[in-house]
Amino acid sequence: MNIVIAIDGPAAAGKGTLAKRLEAHFKLSKLDTGLLYRATGSKVVSGGGDPQDAQIAEACARALDPAELDNPDLRSDEAAQAASKVSAVPGVRAALLDFQREFAKNPPPLADGSPAQGALLDGRDIGTTVCPDAQVKLFVTASPEIRAKRRFKELQERGLEAIYARVLDDMKERDARDSGRSASPLAAASDALQLDTSEMDADQAYAAALDFINAKKLF
Ligand code: DC
């Protein structure tokens, strides 16, 4: 049986940290699907295009090379905003769907060459649209203020200038776009474990996820 773990939720809720720990613990191949949208958005912007231009955005999504996902520039806030815009274009979502499903079905081997025990995908619509049959679905969330605080701290630690009020506004703008779009909006699957990390640290979120997964006796 090919095991798939789907992790969804808004930006800076703690998905990435949780995903990394579960990836290592269960020996899974992980796909951060946000990178697909970030790479698409960045490709549009670097070509001088408008990320809301459906035709250009879809063409860039179709031309995406997985090797482009390793570019560290994709972590920037500019890339995040461009990603959020292209991700509302239905043609972009359709273009990226096959790649994500193929990854879930045939997860690539681990870094040491050994076979993966399954796939872990994190994003916004994995449990609802990309992998509705995933055996494990987690929906990780936290209040916008807490998420903005975490993001602000992270920017400061990276030596980047940031203003908290601006980070919070950007976060709310992105939330509204990701949840309000008609094509596959950010939403929790009905069978997902909801983890609100507002009052939880990374260890507590990981422990709750492990309990939920272990109870399913998949591994
Ligand atoms: O997870 P992230 O911050 O890297 O995602 C960047 C943007 O990409 C996010 O604002 C919405 C979009 N996205 C999406 O629409 N669907 C996904 N499965 C993952 C990301």
Q: How many domains does the chain have?
A: 1
For range 205-217, the mean pLDDT: 97
Residue nearest to atom 16 of ligand 1 (CA): 124
Q: List Cβ neighbours of 123 (8 Å cut-off, separation of 6 or more).
A: 7, 8, 32, 33, 34, 130
Report pLDDT for 1: 74
The structure tokens listed for 54 are 């459906």
Distance 84 CA to ligand 1 centre (A): 6
pLDDT 10s digits, 72-115: 999 888 999 999 999 999 999 999 999 999 999 999 999 999 99
Token pair, residue 142, equals: 């936290």
17-26, 158-167, 206-215: least confident range? 158-167
**What is the pLDDT, as a whole number, of residue 54?**
98
Please give the share of the chain, as a percent, with pLDDT higher than 90.
Answer: 95
Q: Compute the average pLDDT of residues 145-171.
A: 94
Which residues does residue 138 pair with via DSSP β-bridges, in sequence order? Answer: 7, 193
Buried b (16+ CB within 10 A) or exposed e, 1-24: eebbbbbbbbbbbbbbbbbbbbbe
The pLDDT score that the predictor gives to residue 26 is 97
Closest CA to 104 of 83, 135, 65: 135
Confidence of residue 160 (pLDDT cuts 50, 70, 90): confident
Residue 74 CA, closest ligand 1 atom number: 4
Domain contains 213: no
Report yes or no on 212 lying in a domain. Answer: no
pLDDT score, position 49 = 97
Q: What are phi and psi of 12, to 5 degrees?
A: 60, 30
SS3 of residue 117 by DSSP: coil
Q: Across the chain, what does the average pLDDT equal?
A: 96
Residues 15-43 have a mean pLDDT of 97
Write out the residue range of the structural domain in which residue 48 sits: 3-203
Domain assignment of residue 74, yes or no: yes
Q: Enumerate residues 6+ apart whose C-beta is below 8 A from 96.
A: 33, 36, 37, 40, 61, 64
Query: In the chain, what is the straight-line distance between the N-terminal and C-terminal CA atoms, in Å?
Result: 10
Q: At CA 130, angle to CA 126 and CA 132, rounded to 5?
A: 80
Q: Compute the distance from residue 124 Cα to the ligand 1 centre, in Å.
A: 6
Q: Is residue 193 part of a domain?
A: yes
Whole-number Å distance, alpha carbon 39 to ligand 1 midpoint, is: 11
CB 22 within 8 A of CB 122: no
Q: What is the Cα–Cα distance from 208 to 149, expressed in whole angstroms?
A: 23
The structure's pTM equals: 0.96
CATH number at residue 90: 3.40.50.300
What pLDDT shows up at residue 2?
A: 87
Instruction: Return left, alpha or beta for 152; rule: phi > 0 is left, psi -120 to 50 is alpha, else beta.
Output: alpha
Q: Is the CB of 15 under 6 A from ligand 1?
A: no
Does residue 29 line the site of ligand 1, with CB under 6 A?
A: no
**What pLDDT does residue 36 have?**
98
